Amino acid sequence: MSAVPLVIVAVVLSLGMQTPSPKPTPPPTPSPSSTQPETKPQPKPDPKLAPIAVQIVVGTQPNLDALCKKGGQAPSAVFVVSAAQVFHCVGNSLHDHANHGKDPDLEKAVVRASANERVRWFSATRFIVTSVEKHEPPGVAPPKKNVAPDYPFLEPLPKEFRNEVIVTVRDEPGTVVQRYKASFNIEGIGLVDPDLICMM
């Protein structure tokens, strides 16, 4: 079996929204021995909220086309025939993923997740998330001052093949917009790049 990268583009928007406290309290007086700067605690994800599911479906084009026409598929699902044949099911028809930016229907395939929400990538075919890196789309200049985190999730990436990976979007102060590319290594498949937008 060969294993080739799967790529996911991610955009992170940091809103820095905090749950307001019911009553303002004065800050504690720092002790003289306290010299460590405070870091923002990351709230735990709400276990009652289901993760945003992104399914990766591997199969032949006729089988994937029939599955799409049957209905009930999320536009964010990634239908993979080969490295050169990657689709999204929008309106019960397959749309070529390579047409992102040209086909307006493919905007429905973009996954959007807010701060502290979890994203769940899953597939019957095992995969590894090999990296997540900052990435600017073609024709867009990178920001002059880039304050976005290098990595948009709280948990580290697993280093072994799995059928499921769940990560939680960071909560960052201020407003940050950043595109990321997450590379996946899927057993027996080539390079694909479903989109993910995180609002942190």
DSSP string computed for 3-71 = EEEEEEEEEEEE----PPPSS--PPPPPPTT--SPP-PPPPPP-TTSPPEEEEEEE--HHHHHHHHHH-
From the first residue on, what is the mean pLDDT of each consecutive set of 10 residues in the chain (200 residues)? 39 40 46 44 66 92 97 92 88 91 87 87 90 72 77 92 94 77 79 66
What is the pLDDT, as a whole number, of residue 190? 65
Q: Is 135 helix (H, G, I), strand (E, B) or coil?
A: coil
What is the pLDDT, as a whole number, of residue 124? 97
What is the pLDDT, as a whole number, of residue 162? 95
What is the pLDDT, as a whole number, of residue 40? 55
CA–CA distance, 54 with 73 (Å, rounded to integer): 11
Tokens 């493919």 locate to: 106
What is the pLDDT, as a whole number, of residue 2? 42
What is the pLDDT, as a whole number, of residue 184? 78
What is the pLDDT, as a whole number, of residue 139? 65
What is the pLDDT, as a whole number, of residue 48? 65
